[in-house]
Structure formats: structure tokens, C-alpha cells
């Protein structure tokens, strides 16, 4: 466990249920609305196949209607993906009929290298997850950072190339534990998006009082594999709550590709003693500069993507836990699409593994 994550775990535990979330100004026309009035909570201590359920940092819906969720890291325990079964309706998220919340996790898949050696929480920090049309799993780890393709049995099939400027080094690349936190496939499956959680070392100093310019990295399917292409600047909001003296952070936690080329971006903020602030933004690439040729953003001229607030959990009536992952859920009877979000409880008994559903307005 990193020092940063240890501090977050302690701080979240101390603050659980005690702080009102901070709200941004509401969007003029809400794109998203809450389904139901409360989340589904997977009880702490739930297990599948001998593995403890928790630390769920990303989620994706499988073709059979179940969901896969990747664990970020838990010491030296095996890196793994859980399969979850639940329903989504106008009433929100619920266990399948006749089942309890303890029975929502139904299977586990440990993750391994191509030679069969298992990954663990020391060398793999799963933070982003997308499912290919063929069924294979694409998983981002922010340790290096890396993106790997896994079979549904959990064995590495290949690693995607990562541009050099993202790789951690002296004065360059990702900051500790602030690498690839997101992963999403565009409709059609030939474009893959990821991003660093906060600015690369060479792009901007770490300053929570100012926007943090991260790079949206687009992969394109060419000649039988994904290759890195254009990059666009996305500015993570400054800290919305008052700066405190304790642990505090804000970052880009996940992305979700919409039909037509726009993206949804999930930003998560925590300030010790104050609580969480979690918002979703709609992102347009129109007019944004491709910065893939810039080794550093500092001193350069560029235009960021445009972002619009479309949902703020502070105005939902729901107290969110550490929401980190989102995916599309089923279509409702009225034709509306749904979003499903999952929280990472950091394997902390004072936090919760929540599953939350939102309606996406047509």
C-alpha cells in the first residue's frame, strides 16, 4: 500500500458519514438523474472463491448482463477481477431476485502474466477496465503505468504500447499513484481512451488550487492491435472545498465514451475533515489541440477540451462513498440508457462498496 493510499484510507475512514458533500453550481439542463433513493451496498467481509471483495476501482458490463469489476491493490494478495450480478431499474440497483447483497459477487478471476505468474497488489494496481467486443478484458494499471489485454481466464495476452512521456522518471511522467485511472472503449470498439489522474510532472506543478492539465490519450485499432494516437488536454477542476491541513486530493477517476464522440468524465475529490465531492462532466473534443507532439505542456500554446458539468452527487440526496468507476447499464423500458457507478472501499471497514445507478437522458 502506498503512503498516499494509506493516508486516504485513514482519512476516509475518519470522515465516513460525517461530512456534507460540496456542490458545484447545478447544470442548466440535467443530463443525468439518480435512479432510486439509495445505493446497493455489498457488505464488508463478502468473499468469493476465498477472496475478499473490496477495492473495486473500475467496472464494465459484460454481454451476458453481469458486470466485471477490477480490484486496485491489496498488499501482496493476487490482483483480481470480480464478476457481479445485480439488476438496474427505476428503483435503482438491487440484488437479483431471491438473492441478498452478499450474493452479488458471483465469481473471481485472478490476473496473471502470459507465463502464468500471478500479479499482486505490489506490482499491479488495476484502475481502469474495458471489455472488447470479442470479450477480452483491457485493464489499466497505474503502477507503471500500463494497459494489458487479458483473456477472460485472467492471463495476459498482450501489452499495449505506452508513449514514453507518460512513463515515470526523474522530473517526467506520472506522479506516484496518479497514472492511468480510466479506460473506455468507444462504440464500435476501435477507439480506446485513457488518461492520467493528475498532471504529468513535466506538464505542470502539483497545485490543488489550480486546474490540473491531464492528457486524454486516444488509442486506435490498426493492423490487429491498439496503437497510441492523439492526446488532448483535460483540465481537472481545482479543489472545490476549502484547502485543509490534512490529506486532500482531486483527480480524474474514470471516462466513459458516448455515441457521437463525446466523453463522460468522473472527477473525485477528498479533503480530510470535510469529505468527498464527486461530479460528472460531459467532454467535447471540438477545437481541442492534439498535444501528442509536445513533450511538455509548460510554455506551449494549446486549447483544452470543453467540459460541462452534468451531474453533482452533492445535489442527489445520496451520500456517495469513494466512487471511482462507471459503465453503461441496461436500457430502461422508456428507452433511457443507464449508468452504473462503483465505489472503492479501500478494504476499510468504515467505508462502503456502493453500486449506484443514474438515468442518462436521451
More confident residue, 93 or 20: 93
Nearest in space to 160 (alpha carbons), one of 229, 214, 105, 216: 229
User: C-alpha distances in angstroms, 166 versus 127, 187, 264, 345?
Assistant: 16, 26, 22, 27
Is residue 6 scored above 60 in pLDDT?
no
What single string gives the DSSP state of each residue in 81-111? Answer: EEEE--EEETTEEEPPTT--GGGSEEEEEE-
Instruction: Answer whether residue 59 shows pLDDT above 50.
Output: yes
Strand partners, 93: 88
What are the cell numbers at 315? 445535489
* pLDDT for the residue numbered 27: 58
**Confidence band (pLDDT; 50, 70, 90) for 362?**
confident
> Per-residue pLDDT averaged across 299-322, rounded?
96
- Choice among 3-12, 91-100, 172-181, 297-306 with the minimum mean pLDDT: 3-12
Q: What's the whole-number mean pLDDT along residues 96-110?
A: 98
Indicate whether 3 pLDDT > 80.
no
Q: Give the model's pLDDT for residue 73.
A: 83
Number of domains in the chain: 1
CATH code at 293?
Answer: 2.115.10
Torsion from C-alpha of 300, 302, 305, 306, nearest 10 degrees: 110
DSSP 132: -
- The C-alpha atoms of residue 259 and residue 242 are separated, in whole angstroms, by 36
Q: Are 339 and 328 in contact (CB under 8 A)?
A: yes
246 against 333, higher pLDDT: 333
C-alpha–C-alpha distance, residues 110 and 155, integer Å: 8
Q: What is the pLDDT of residue 19?
A: 46
pLDDT digits (tens, 9 = 90+) for 187-234: 999 999 999 999 999 999 999 999 999 999 999 999 999 999 999 999
Band of the pLDDT at 26, cuts 50, 70, 90? low
What's the pLDDT score for residue 242? Answer: 78
Q: Is the pLDDT of residue 170 over 70?
A: yes
Full domain range(s) for residue 271: 3-360
Q: Would the pLDDT of 4 be above 60?
A: no
State whether residue 162 is helix, strand or coil: coil
Structure letter (DSSP) for residue 164: G
d(CA 95, CA 87): 6
Contacts of 4 (CB under 8 A, 6+ apart): 176, 177, 249
Which uninterrupted H or E stretch holds 304? none
Q: What is the pLDDT of residues 254-265, one digit of tens each?
A: 999 999 999 999
pLDDT at 17 exceeding the cut of 60: no
Residue-level pLDDT at 45: 92
Confidence band for 75, pLDDT divided at 50, 70 and 90 = confident
CB 357 within 8 Å of CB 20: no
Residue 244 has a pLDDT of 72
**Which residues does 319 contact at the CB level (< 8 Å), separation at least 6?**
17, 21
Q: How many Cβ atoms are within 10 Å of 333's Cβ, its own excluded?
A: 8
> Taking a C-beta distance cutoff of 8 angstroms, is the pair 194, 229 a contact?
no
Using only C-alpha atoms, the chain has a radius of gyration, in whole angstroms, of 19
Contact 285, 213 (CB under 8 A): no
Give the pLDDT confidence score for residue 10 in this predicted structure: 46
The answer to pTM > 0.75 is: yes
Where are the alpha helices (H) located in the chain, listed in sequence order?
A: 3-15
The whole-chain average pLDDT of the chain stands at: 92
Q: How many residues does the chain have?
A: 362
Q: Averaged over 313-320, what is the pLDDT?
A: 92
**Per-residue model confidence as pLDDT tens digits over 273-291:** 888 999 999 999 999 999 9
Residues 112-119: contacts with CB within 8 Å, 24+ apart? 112/154, 112/155, 112/156, 113/155, 113/156, 114/155, 114/156, 114/157, 116/155, 118/78, 118/79, 119/78, 119/79
Cell output for 148: 494489458
Amino acid at each position: 500500500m502506498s503512503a498516499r493510499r494509506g493516508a486516504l484510507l485513514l482519512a476516509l475512514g475518519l470522515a465516513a458519514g460525517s461530512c456534507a458533500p460540496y456542490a458545484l453550481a447545478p447544470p442548466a439542463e440535467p443530463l443525468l438523474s439518480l435512479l432510486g433513493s439509495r445505493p446497493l451496498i455489498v457488505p464488508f467481509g463478502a468473499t468469493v472463491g476465498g477472496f475478499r471483495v473490496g477495492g473495486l476501482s473500475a467496472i464494465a458490463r459484460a454481454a451476458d448482463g453481469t458486470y466485471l469489476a477490477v480490484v486496485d491493490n491489496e498488499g501482496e494478495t493476487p490482483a483480481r477481477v470480480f464478476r457481479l450480478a445485480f439488476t438496474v431499474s427505476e428503483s435503482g440497483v438491487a440484488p437479483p431476485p431471491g438473492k441478498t447483497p452478499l450474493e452479488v459477487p458471483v465469481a473471481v478471476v485472478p490476473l496473471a502474466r502470459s507465463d502464468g505468474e500471478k500479479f499482486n497488489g505490489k506490482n499491479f494496481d488495476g484502475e481502469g477496465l474495458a471489455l472488447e467486443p470479442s470479450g477480452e478484458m483491457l485493464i489499466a494499471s497505474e503502477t507503471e503505468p500500463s494497459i494489458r489485454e487479458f483473456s477472460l481466464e485472467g492471463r495476459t495476452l498482450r501489452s499495449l504500447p505506452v508513449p514514453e512521456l507518460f512513463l515515470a522518471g526523474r522530473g517526467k511522467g506520472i506522479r506516484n499513484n496518479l497514472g492511468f485511472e480510466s479506460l473506455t472503449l468507444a462504440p464500435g470498439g476501435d477507439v480506446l481512451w485513457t488518461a492520467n489522474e493528475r498532471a504529468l510532472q513535466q506538464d505542470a506543478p502539483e497545485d490543488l488550487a489550480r486546474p490540473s492539465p491531464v492528457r486524454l490519450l486516444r488509442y486506435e485499432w490498426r493492423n490487429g492491435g491498439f496503437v497510441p494516437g492523439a492526446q488532448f488536454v483535460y483540465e481537472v477542476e481545482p479543489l472545490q472545498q476549502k484547502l485543509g491541513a490534512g490529506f486532500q486530493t482531486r483527480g480524474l477517476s474514470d471516462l466513459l465514451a458516448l455515441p457521437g464522440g463525446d466523453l463522460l468524465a468522473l472527477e473525485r475529490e477528498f479533503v480530510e475533515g470535510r469529505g468527498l465531492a464527486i461530479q460528472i462532466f460531459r467532454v467535447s473534443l471540438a477545437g481541442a489541440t492534439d498535444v501528442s507532439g509536445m513533450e511538455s505542456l509548460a510554455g506551449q500554446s494549446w486549447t483544452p477540451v470543453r467540459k460541462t458539468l452534468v451531474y453533482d452527487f452533492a445535489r442527489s440526496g445520496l451520500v456517495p462513498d469513494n466512487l471511482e468507476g462507471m459503465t453503461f447499464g441496461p436500457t430502461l423500458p422508456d428507452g433511457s440508457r443507464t449508468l452504473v457507478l462503483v465505489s472503492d472501499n479501500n478494504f476499510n471497514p468504515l467505508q462502503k462498496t456502493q453500486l449506484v445507478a443514474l438515468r442518462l437522458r436521451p
